[in-house]
Amino acid sequence: MRSLSARGVGVLLLAVGTLGAAQAQPSEGPPGHGPEVVPYLSLGWGDPPEPTGLMRATGVDGFSFAFVLSAGRCEPRWDGTRPLTGGGDERAVRAVRDAGGEPVVSFGGGGGRTLERDCPDARSLAAAYRRVIRTYGLRAIDVDIEASAYKSATARRKTIGALKRVRAARPGLRISVTVPSLRSGPEGVLIAEAARAGFAPDVWTVMPFAFGERPKEQAAKEDMARSTLRAAEGLKARLRQAYGYGDAEAYAHSGISTMNGITGHQEVITPRDFRTIARYARGHGLGRLAFWSVNRDRPCGARPYPAEDRCSGLSQRPWEFTRAITGTARRA
């Protein structure tokens, strides 16, 4: 995931720049408004909040429901275990739409068996994506490709090929691809491969946290808002090089997916950091803003919940991070 040097990334991206721009087109061009705000919500982990009540309390647009994984073969299931229909996942997705929100289904993530690895080829992976899209009548999906799926050249090619097939079958579908990031931005290998293959998602989203390059005591002192904005600028530069975008178009096809509270690497991301990130996203016309996760958007209190599970690990008001990125005032 972090094997290319910055110089190597630049050379690789410059080699495919104008070719990718000529071939790859997103579904409907860059959006003309502020970012889509769709934080992650997991219904199989961490005492999940009720989504429509959270929408009313915070003004959030909707959620990225996480994650659709593999059941050990090329069969999509929630967390690799729960069926797509007949359970709480289906009811929650449909309830968010009925409440006027945007349900986004996210595939992949950092753990478990992924469709991107277990489906044998791009055709079968595309069929798995389309099955989920049809089941919920989705207008948007997110593919979070990290860990072993990101490191595997075979899985990367398969994912790009599958998303090209999905785009051809459903040209109006909004597609985001979420990737790991260094402080300087993503490595760019997947972006370069996608551009070379003629595929441009609507949004490339970086995850600028869990850098893991410093001792934990140093990580806790890092200015995470500054590191996040630096990573977003790095993403913009990669997109300019790979697709030939101008600045405004590159920003419109960029997204940020951060983490709230104390990360697994002991970085500390505060509500104030979220407000800085949100101002940047709105001011630069980014296409997507998310975080992991609303399950963690509450104080831990006296109960011994780990910060990676049901709470942020920080002193905060309930849903303070979600309100910070939506720009809504505290509600009684």
Check residue 7 and give its pLDDT. Answer: 33
CA gyration radius, the chain: 18
Which residue in 36, 102, 146, 320 is the catalytic one? Answer: 146
Q: Kindly report the CA angle at 299 between 295 and 302, in degrees rounded to 5? A: 120
What CATH number should be reported for the domain holding residue 129? 3.20.20.80
Q: With a cut of 50, list the residues of the chain below it in pLDDT.
A: 1-23, 28-32, 329-332
β-pairing, 268-269 with 261-262?
antiparallel
**Residue 326 domain-assigned (yes or no):** no
Check residue 77 and give its pLDDT. Answer: 98
**Residue 55 domain-assigned (yes or no):** yes
Cα 155 from Cα 198, distance rounded (Å):
17
**Residue 218 domain-assigned (yes or no):** yes
Cα 44 from Cα 51, distance rounded (Å):
13
Number of domains in the chain: 1
Check residue 144 and give its pLDDT. Answer: 98
Q: Kindly report the CA angle at 190 between 189 and 194, in degrees rounded to 5? A: 120
**Residue 313 domain-assigned (yes or no):** no
**Residue 331 domain-assigned (yes or no):** no
**Residue 25 domain-assigned (yes or no):** yes
Are 307 and 46 in contact by the 8 Å Cβ rule? The answer is no
Instruction: List pLDDT tens digits, range 210-239.
Output: 997 777 778 888 999 999 999 999 999 999
Q: Which residue has tokens 């009548």? A: 137
**Residue 319 domain-assigned (yes or no):** no
Residue 50 CB contacts under 8 Å (≥ 6 apart), including other chains: none
Domain holding 119, by residue range, is 6-295
For the chain, how many residues are written? 332
Cα 66 from Cα 39, distance rounded (Å):
10
Judge whether 146 counts as a catalytic residue.
Answer: yes
Check residue 160 and give its pLDDT. Answer: 98
Cα 97 from Cα 116, distance rounded (Å):
27
* Other C-beta atoms lying within 10 Å of the C-beta of residue 76: 23
Entry pTM: 0.89
- Could you tell me the two tokens for 146? 């990290």
**Residue 259 domain-assigned (yes or no):** yes
Phi and psi angles of residue 257, each rounded to the nearest 5 degrees, phi first = -125, 100
Are 178 and 205 in contact by the 8 Å Cβ rule? The answer is yes
